[in-house]
Amino acid sequence: MADQFTNAPPPIITLTTDFGPSSRYVAAMKGVILSMNPQVRLVDLTHAIPPQDVRAGAIALAETVPFFPPDSIHLAVVDPGVGSGRRIIYARIGGQQFVAPDNGLLSRLAEREQPTKIVSVEDPRFWRATVSTTFHGRDVMAPVVARLSLGLVPDALGPPLEQLTKLAWPEVQRVANHIDGEVIEVDSFGNLITNVTRDMLADVPADESVTVTCDEHQTHGVFATYSDQPPMTLVAVIGSGDKLELAIVEENASKMLGVKAGAPVRVSW
């Protein structure tokens, strides 16, 4: 590759919001960041989080962040409590860095791996000179991630915290010959992603003696891939996030079945 890049690559800042695809609010945050660090690399993680759906944001982060290089900086804004007393936090989790409202958005990541640092973002010297009451993503978090990308030490942002806010996540129950979980996410194909992981199914038979039920819908067997079955078939597979998911081959399962996040799922054998 090109010789001029023998030094460190540009730092990565990803953006996760509920602002909707192609929102000008995202562009405003990018403008703020680029005004402070024109060399940073910006990557959209997703802006399709349903409005104010902190859980969906937490899942998107937890599922996607592990694919990014170490030390990437992730700015996440799903922030129904903006302007209220909720904190903004910096956290270091799994070798990566996060700036987000402390409303549980980072709690799914923090469940998997203990944060090695949590800081309460409080020092206004690192923010925009004027801070709106309704858009801390632009006025507080964007300048903070820009400064971090320029080398600011996280401890400068404010006092350390022991804990970040946690959300209660639905737990998977295993009793005798069945596992009870639920749909935790509907992806853009309408596939129903559950909280039942590959590991939980390790000793469950993979053949058609297994029944997967979701609401009143039922399918038999857990398959390796969608295309193992004919179109329009309801099929259970272990998806790319190592979780059981339900799909209708070449169709949108969520729309066809009317199933959304929160629907109960049972695996029995």
Residues 55-84 that bind its own copies (CB under 8 A): 60, 63-69, 72, 80-84
Contact between 269 and its own copies (CB under 8 A)?
no
Q: Rounded CA gap, 68 and 12, in Å?
A: 9
| Contacting range for its own copies; rule: CB under 8 A; set: 29-37, 118-126, 161-169, 208-216 | 29-37
Contact between 43 and its own copies (CB under 8 A)?
yes
**DSSP characters for 196-262?**
EETGGGTTS--STT-EEEETTEEEESEES-GGGS-TT-EEEEE-TTSEEEEEETTB-HHHHHT--TT
Min dist CB 11 to its own copies, Å, is: 8
Residue 144 DSSP symbol: H
Residue 160 DSSP symbol: B
Contact between 129 and its own copies (CB under 8 A)?
no
Please identify, using beta-carbon distances, which residue of 45 and 259 lies nearer to its own copies. 45
- 70 Cβ contact partners less than 8 Å away, ≥ 6 residues apart: 95, 96
- Give the footprint of its own copies on residues 195-214 (CB under 8 A): none
Min dist CB 160 to its own copies, Å, is: 26
| Contacting range for its own copies; rule: CB under 8 A; set: 5-13, 118-126, 161-169, 261-269 | 5-13
Contact between 187 and its own copies (CB under 8 A)?
yes
Min dist CB 53 to its own copies, Å, is: 10
Please identify, using beta-carbon distances, which residue of 5 and 162 lies nearer to its own copies. 5
Q: Nearest Cα to 36, choosing from 185, 145, 140? A: 145
Q: Are 49 and 26 in contact (CB under 8 A)?
A: no
| Contacting range for its own copies; rule: CB under 8 A; set: 109-117, 149-157, 207-215, 257-265 | 149-157
Find the binder of its own copies among 165, 213, 233, 252 (CB under 8 A).
Answer: 252
Min dist CB 264 to its own copies, Å, is: 23
- How do 117-120 and 178-186 pair as beta strands? unpaired
CA Rg value for the chain: 21
Q: Rounded CA gap, 75 and 58, in Å?
A: 12
Find the binder of its own copies among 1, 129, 153, 175 (CB under 8 A).
Answer: 1
Please identify, using beta-carbon distances, which residue of 241 and 264 lies nearer to its own copies. 241
